[in-house]
Amino acid sequence: MKDFFSLLPLELLVIIISLLPFKEAVKSSVLFKNLLKASKFTKNVEFNELFFVKPDQSDETRQVQRRVFIDFIKTWIENHKGTVLDKFSLKMSTQANVGEVIDQCVGFATQRNVKELTLDFADSEWEEHDVYFGDYDAIFDMPKQVYAHSGLEHLKLYSCCFIEAEMRNFHVLKEVSLGWMKLSVTAIKGLLSNCRVLESLSMKRCWSSERFRLGQEETKGLKMLVIDHCRFEFDVFIVNALNLQIFKYYGWMNFNIMEIQSPEMEEADLDFAVEYSYHRRGYPLYNMMKNLSIASILTVCSYVLQVIPSGPEQLRMEHDMCVQHLIMNASLHEDEFIGIAFFINSCPMLGCLTIQICPKNDLSDCEEPFYFNLTRFWADFLGDCECLRSSLEEVEFDGYRGHKNENLLLEYLIIKGFVLKSISINLMKDDSGMIMESHSRQHAEDLLQVQRASKNLEITIS
């Protein structure tokens, strides 16, 4: 290794070291002299307090570790010789007296024309999914130099506030990610209006006691919107974005009206795993699904599967959905069966069906739409639905446990999937790769004996 690095020219080493995760780059540069030289020119700098401060230590130790971290930052910045930076990231907890080092970091990054800037002051222990009004406040303001830095392409601010009215110089800013702070809908609109080329906006654990409404005017350039466990005023959620292609929503389905008016929608991801009750959400959920039915990739969760049949239609949407790849996070509990049939029946162009086994949402006020005979369910309610006859070629099943309900569905797909080409069954494994349910392989192998409607079908078990 040593010789290898000493043979390479510095320019190449700078490229290599800039591609490494910063932590690895620092480690390697300690080992190899030539890399140490190259690391002074690296274009990718990441200062992360967690590399230095260990959460399980005493307060005094952590104070010392923090000081070492700050000294490391200062020394690194002083020794850096490069003139350009691609990425700069600073993650640190909010302590007194760090204002100066933050300014120093931001000055360092903006003078080197950084393209991707991350300022993350969120506490690493803030991970809960249930965000309330007032939960998080941004302690730091984004330093003034940043507003003047027109070359920025990606900006991530966690627990760091900004003044949307001053975000007027970002002529190439494409992607913004905001998290762990109060974020007014007015600020979101201001940000979108002032940054005209902004394509991607993500929000994580943000809150504001306003209704979430975005209109056509401010969303002209927006192609991707991610709302990850945020809290806005319930009841109404409306996005009217003509060019939006990707929409991801994780959190509460606490709206009587949830409208997404986006004729270009390609991919939608809905995860309401935090929900625990029906609250008569069947109708609003159905209406939103209608809005999203033009998407070609759709991911839904156990909650959607259980609640959708309590809307106006139980077993099929009134018109066809355009979904070609359907991903269902489901437990395959019988409470989800009608919802699963709803989607398979509604998607006549479905080419790929992915099932990811996950825990069921236990809903307190369970409303079973109708009684059915479990073993006959798929024959009775899927029949020869359109996609089974003409489009469904691929089934992926992740987290297979060998439960009866899993086999009922898979058997039916094998018997009735006339154009199926592959079914891949991935047995549920733990983190170390051990198969979790002892009989699962045997039950999966039983499926190999089922009579196949498609001659070209290959079933793999792994």
Ligand X SMILES: *[C@@H]1O[C@H](CO)[C@@H](O)[C@H](O)[C@H]1NC(C)=O
Reduced DSSP (H G I as helix, E B as strand, rest coil) percent helix, strand, coil of the chain, to 5: 35, 25, 40
Q: Which residue, chain included where needed, has tokens 């309610």?
A: 381
Closest separation in Å from C-beta 384 to ligand X? 18
Does 336 interact with ligand X (rule: CB under 6 A)?
Answer: no
Closest separation in Å from C-beta 352 to ligand X? 15
Helices (H), 46-184: 59-79, 99-111, 144-148
Closest separation in Å from C-beta 327 to ligand X? 7
Does 291 interact with ligand X (rule: CB under 6 A)?
Answer: yes
Instruction: Return all residues near 258 (Cβ < 8 A) that are at least 6 apart.
Output: 237, 238, 284, 285, 287, 288
Among residues 34, 110, 310, 329, the one that binds ligand X under rule CB under 6 A: 329
Give the footprint of ligand X on residues 208-267 (CB under 6 A): 259, 261, 263
Closest separation in Å from C-beta 435 to ligand X? 18
Tell me whether residue 86 or residue 267 sits nearer to ligand X (CB atom): 267
Among residues 269, 335, 393, 406, the one that binds ligand X under rule CB under 6 A: 269
Does 356 interact with ligand X (rule: CB under 6 A)?
Answer: yes
Backbone angles phi, psi at 200, to 5 degrees: -130, 125
SS3 186: helix
Tell me whether residue 102 or residue 268 sits nearer to ligand X (CB atom): 268
Q: Determine how many CB atoms are found less than 10 A away from the CB of residue 218.
A: 18
Which residue number is nearest to ligand X in terms of Cβ?
A: 271
SS3 259: strand
SS3 176: strand
Answer for the pair 297, 248: CB distance below 8 angstroms, yes or no: no
Does 323 interact with ligand X (rule: CB under 6 A)?
Answer: no
Answer for the pair 355, 398: CB distance below 8 angstroms, yes or no: yes
Does 275 interact with ligand X (rule: CB under 6 A)?
Answer: no
Give the footprint of ligand X on residues 88-147 (CB under 6 A): none
SS3 179: strand
d(CA 169, CA 346): 46
Among residues 106, 176, 270, 340, the one that binds ligand X under rule CB under 6 A: 270
Closest separation in Å from C-beta 271 to ligand X? 3
Closest separation in Å from C-beta 195 to ligand X? 25
Q: Which residues bind ligand X (CB under 6 A)?
A: 259, 261, 263, 269-271, 287, 291, 299, 301, 329, 356, 358, 373, 375-376
